[in-house]
Structure 1
Amino acid sequence: MSEALVTVEAAGTESSVPAASGARQFWRRLRAQRAALVAAAVVALLVLIALGAPLLTALEGQDPTTYHPSLIDSARGGVPVGSLGGMSADHWLGVEPQTGRDLFARLVYGARVSLGVALAATVAQVILGTVMGVAAGLGNRWVDLVLSRITDIFVAMPLMIMALALLAVVPGDFPRPVLVALVIALVSGWSTTAKMVRAQTLTLKNLDYVAASRLSGWSTWRTAVRELLPGLAAPVITYAALLVPTNISAEAALSFLGVGVKPPTPSWGQMLTSADVWYQAAPQYLLLPAGALFVTVFALTVLGDGVRVALDPRAASRLRVGTGSKREARAEQAAPQAGTRARRQGGAKTEAGKEDRA
């Protein structure tokens, strides 16, 4: 791909330099946002913790399913023995009330479930929404009408009610994390993605290069893959980045209601469900999964907003050069300084000329 030339003003002169490619521009804009970089580091750390859960629990010497009845005070209703919920060298964050299962092990394995379900649901939502949106945008009037009405039905469908109904009728031997991801993906998210992709497709298909590909005899599939998908990448990636924290919250809510991931598989929402009666006796049992959920959702939200700004040239331009009033103020401040420099340079040339004549 040939590089476009951009004009850069520096020190009162103009020079033409090659513009950075799309990927380089994206990373440059993203690096300019410190909050997004911090959020990306937090998300990367959470992913590493989720992937390294077996190694971390092996270092501690525990697992998320083993009961430790000796660490529970049955006379007090199942409160962990010792201070701070039973924290010790063997149990870094203490143990669960009533069961004595290691809290650190369940927390890091819960990250696997929460992040895995959210990411799987996001991928399914993006794929389904993109296919439906492109098909509606490129199809004839009747195809567009039928697909748009189906999409509107799912947009209006309440997630929690439909999820509760679907999860209640599915056999219990079906893998619960996979089922939760499928329910979240099919009930919500994809319909909004489809409407956004359809609107973008209707705009892009009227451009000259897309119209030329269709007039040249290309099939609808080839036109969509070769011409439309590159133009749809930026808005779809932006929306997908914002879908992940929403899906994490949905999984936590379903597990909190008791229809999500079932024990003994750990999940942050499931831990919150059983922690609501222990917040006084063992507050870390409630605060740790709630804090992990808050940090994860907040970091993903900030990162998603940073990706949106980095992929939006108008937003990036506003971040780089400011608004029109700020640009004018900078120009007004730079004008006297440029005049002063010019007068100094002119005076220096005059003095040099006098010396040469002398």
Structure 2
Amino acid sequence: MSEALVAVEVPGASASGASGARQFWRRLRAQRAALVAAAVVALLVLIAVAAPLFTAIEGQDPTTYHPSLVDSARGGVPIGPFGGMSGEHWLGVEPQTGRDLFARLVYGARVSLGVALAATVIQVLLGLVMGVAAALGGGWVDQLLSRITDIFVAMPLMIMSLALLAIVPSSFPRPVLVTLVIGFIAWGTIAKIVRAQTLTLKGLDYVSAARLSGWGSLRIARRELLPGLAAPLITYAAILVPVNISIEAALSFLGVGVKPPTPSWGQMLTAADVWYQAAPQYLMLPAGALFVTVLALTVLGDGVRTALDPRAASRLGVGTGRGRQDEADAEKGAAV
């Protein structure tokens, strides 16, 4: 009987999942700020992926020195107006070295976005495995995994990262190292969220029916629990990406993250702190890129959270106004 119940529920679950996906996209499209943020994020990702193409069009690269473009008598200040902007150097050049700022900025986007996205994937996977294992294991397994999770939640991320990055040999690729450090330290909060949600899902009828039909824990987790965990995981992952970008920038700014000549927005800010008067664009460009990226990802994450859970009010006002009213009218019409 339980097998028949499970078999009957699968098609309905698929239809419900498809309908839920359509509702999510409709709610997300109704939020103009989230759509603008998504367009900005897509543009940033395009710039990061196509960095070699953009720099080839400009005819520059991020590591070549141009000593003739800086005034050594004035300490290395770029020659020319606006930090040496020209047809050959679209955003000017770096003080002292003369390296092209546009090339370093777009290649820095690859490092900052790549580290943040990869670290988020590691955090989500670790948190998912630990949270589901703790909730399904129960008893001493739950106690053990929960205490391990508590330890990682209590760890001061910046202090631990500084310590680990300082003792690892410099020959190890720094972007990979920063990714691993952030990903393997800051997964505890996701594990707690997944455990709490899994405990809630365990008490639902369709999960009980699957267990009575003889399904193992792994199959139950894959077929029954993961669809229910998708919404909170996507929501929290969208919020984690801008946080991880800020962490990478902070670590690079403190001198333990990405090392020269590899460009990174945080590493560029580290070198720019003594040039903000002589060459203000050297400070403003990476700072502005970080600000726009973090703001766009934060607004997009809030929009995704609101679209997945329409009962929750937006923290940033995303989806308010006419868009929210149109969404409410559409849902009333569908209900009728």
Q: Which residue of 1 aligns with 2:270?
A: 273
* Structure 1 range deviating more: 127-136 or 311-320: 311-320
Cα contact 2:111–2:264 (8 A) shared by 1: yes
Secondary structure at 1:314 match in 2: coil
Structure 1 residues 70-118: Cα deviation after superposition (integer angstroms, max 9, x where no partner): 0010000000001100000000000000000000000000000000000
Q: Which residue of 2 aligns with 1:88?
A: 86
Change (3 A) 1:59 1:321: closer
Distance in 1 between residues matched to 2:64 and 2:242, nearest whole Å: 30
Change (3 A) 1:279 1:31: same
Cα contact 1:252–1:270 (8 A) shared by 2: yes
- Which of 49, 64, 70 aligns to 2:62? It is 64
Q: Which residue of 2 aligns with 1:174?
A: 172
Q: Which residue of 2 aligns with 1:106?
A: 104
Once the two structures are TM-superposed, the CA of residue 175 in structure 1 deviates from its matched residue by 1.3
- Which of 136, 140, 148 aligns to 2:138? It is 140
Cα contact 2:116–2:242 (8 A) shared by 1: yes
Q: Which residue of 1 aligns with 2:226?
A: 229
Q: Which residue of 1 aligns with 2:3?
A: none
Once the two structures are TM-superposed, the CA of residue 157 in structure 1 deviates from its matched residue by 0.4
Q: Which residue of 2 aligns with 1:351?
A: none
Distance in 2 between residues matched to 1:146 and 1:116, nearest whole Å: 33
Once the two structures are TM-superposed, the CA of residue 315 in structure 1 deviates from its matched residue by 3.6
> TM-score, length-normalised on structure 2?
0.89
**Aligned residues between the structures:** 311
Once the two structures are TM-superposed, the CA of residue 299 in structure 1 deviates from its matched residue by 0.1
Q: Which gives a bigger RCO, structure 1 or 2 (Cα 8 Å, sep 6+)? A: 2
Matches within 5 A, 1:177-216: 177-188=175-186, 190-216=187-213
* Larger Rg, first or second structure (1 or 2): 1
Distance in 1 between residues matched to 2:274 and 2:224, nearest whole Å: 56
Structure 1 residues 176-227: Cα deviation after superposition (integer angstroms, max 9, x where no partner): 1111001011111x10000000000010001111112112221111110010
Distance in 2 between residues matched to 1:24 and 1:194, nearest whole Å: 28
Q: Which residue of 2 aligns with 1:14?
A: none
Q: Any stretches of 5+ residues in structure 1 without a counterpart?
A: 6-17, 328-358
Secondary structure at 1:67 match in 2: coil
Change (3 A) 1:19 1:117: closer
Distance in 1 between residues matched to 2:167 and 2:17, nearest whole Å: 56
* Structure 1 range deviating more: 173-182 or 297-306: 173-182
- Aligned: 1:310 with 2:307: yes
Cα contact 2:248–2:266 (8 A) shared by 1: yes
Cα contact 2:70–2:98 (8 A) shared by 1: yes
Change (3 A) 1:60 1:322: closer
Percent identity, aligned pairs only? 80
Cα contact 1:3–1:21 (8 A) shared by 2: no
Cα contact 1:36–1:303 (8 A) shared by 2: yes
Distance in 2 between residues matched to 1:3 and 1:140, nearest whole Å: 27
> TM-score, length-normalised on structure 1?
0.83
* 1:139 partner letter: G
Distance in 2 between residues matched to 1:248 and 1:66, nearest whole Å: 26
Matches within 5 A, 1:1-358: 1=11, 21-188=19-186, 190-315=187-312, 319-320=324-325
* 2:136 partner letter: L
